Amino acid sequence: MVPLGAQALRTGAPDPPAGGGRYGSMRAVPTVARWWSSRTDPQRLDLYTRWSFYGWLALTPALALMVLGAEGVGTTPADWLYLAGSVSVAVTGVVLARAGLATRWTRRSLQTGPLAAALGAAAVTAGTGVAEGLTRPGDTGTGWLVALPLAMLLTAASPVWTTRVLTRASAGVGLLVGGVLLLAGEPWATALVLAAVFTAAVTGLVLAFRFSVWVLDVVVEMERTRGVQAQLAVAEERLRFARDLHDVMGRNLSAIAVKSQLAAELVRRGREGAVEELTDISRVAEESLREVRDVVRGYRGSDLPGELAGARSVLRAAGVEVTVSGEDGAVVLPAPVQTALGWVVREAVTNVLRHSRATTCTIALSTSDGVAQLRVVNDGVTGDGDRGAGLTGLAERLAAPGGRLSARREGGRFVLTATVPVGVRV
């Protein structure tokens, strides 16, 4: 069959319309491959596991015919009763397996109805098998007459019963088969061996289905974990954006406010320098716009020497006497350390401008024993000096590369200390 598009390319004729053609469009008919590809991996595994259960349990009547033997089927009422029981075992087993698998998704407990029906059908059929086996001494299928309905019951119950319960129940099936064989006249050694064989066979069968349910549980849990990870990633990105926006705009807006007041005062007094301050305001505004865009993109960094120079300029414009020491050592620090300490300088300057009436400020940078330390001390502290949202976010930022932040009040001074390992990798 040639696709419609390929036919059009060969003949030069256009494709028939969506609703045209003698038999209408075939494009709207979903194919099996498209239906299968539209499912997620957990859904595919669930379908495979579910229909493995259904298919195996549906084979119960066919297996019962094989156990009874083709020649002697239907010669006694017990044969018909056993076949009818095998059908009921298949039906109730499918219902039980369906209900049990549904509990794996909904996390709800299994209702007693399906389990009671499957237990009843398996017990009656196994009892019929016991009666049938006692009338057929020496028949090799006697053990399977008893074990078949009980093995199907355990298979159907494997989604809801634990491995320990299933193993013990399988051993019970083997012991029951051994007892029936002894009553049927088999030697005790033969009955013991067959009991062990049936125990191993039923246990292996049931645990194989139990393992498939466990695999389904693992895949479903992994899918749920992926959903939780996605939600956490979104929440973390929101937190990053809020923290970065606060850190970026806090100092810049404070600088714009201070420089605007200074420019207004210079204009009012008729002194020179107002043009320079207004130009600087424009520069800070443009820088703020660029950094906000970088925050949105997530590619924002911080240069420590530039931040120290900016802090000196802003604080001096606000009338604060600034002393910066160790500025030469900032250049040789690794880029991740400069970025981390650059945000400390930003937040410290923001706090000095917004939360104090400082007249002096000291910024000291030092490196010792593989640890870079930045210490900012200012006077004129107002309020109680508690850590605000900015310092909390800064502490979280420093904690990622293994750094620490300390903020405390010493009399009328506020001391902010940040330490970051020089060998940090981010």
Whether residue 36 is contained in a domain is answered as no
Indicate the pairing of strand 321-325 with strand 360-368.
parallel
Percent of the chain with pLDDT strictly greater than 70 = 79
Predicted pLDDT of residue 208: 92
Residue spans of beta strands (DSSP E) within 271-341: 321-325
Rounded distance, CA 327 to CA 344, Å? 14
Residues 6+ apart with CB under 8 A from 284: 252, 255, 256, 259
257 and 363 share one domain:
yes
Domain that holds residue 3: 1-30
On whether both 208 and 286 belong to a single domain, the answer is no
Is there a single domain that holds both residue 154 and residue 216? yes
Are 300 and 244 within 8 A, CB to CB? yes
C-alpha 137: how far from chain center: 58
Rounded to an integer, the average pLDDT of 182-190 is 84
Please, are residues 333 and 367 in contact by the beta-carbon 8 Å criterion? yes
- What tens digit of pLDDT does each residue of 248-269 get? 666 677 777 777 887 787 777 7
Listed residues 178, 198, 221: the one ending a domain: 221
Residues 142 and 285 reside in one and the same domain: no
150 in a structural domain: yes
Cross-sheet strand order for the sheet of 371-378: 321-325, 360-368, 371-378, 413-421, 404-410
Within 13 Å, how many C-alpha atoms sit on residue 124's CB side?
17
In a domain, 35, yes or no: no
With respect to residue 37, please indicate whether it lies within any of the assigned structural domains.
Answer: no
Number of domains in the chain: 3
Q: Give the pLDDT confidence of 119-136 residue by residue, as tens digits.
A: 999 999 988 888 877 776
Query: How do residues 301-318 score in pLDDT, each as one tens digit?
Result: 567 888 888 888 788 877
- Judge whether 115 and 166 are in contact, CB under 8 Å: no
What pLDDT was estimated at residue 206?
A: 93
Q: Is the pLDDT of residue 22 over 50?
A: no
Classify 316 in phi/psi space as left (phi over 0), alpha (psi -120 to 50) or beta: alpha
Do 17 and 84 fall into the same domain?
A: no
Whether the per-residue pLDDT at 207 is higher than 60: the answer is yes
| End-of-domain residue from the set 175, 192, 221 | 221
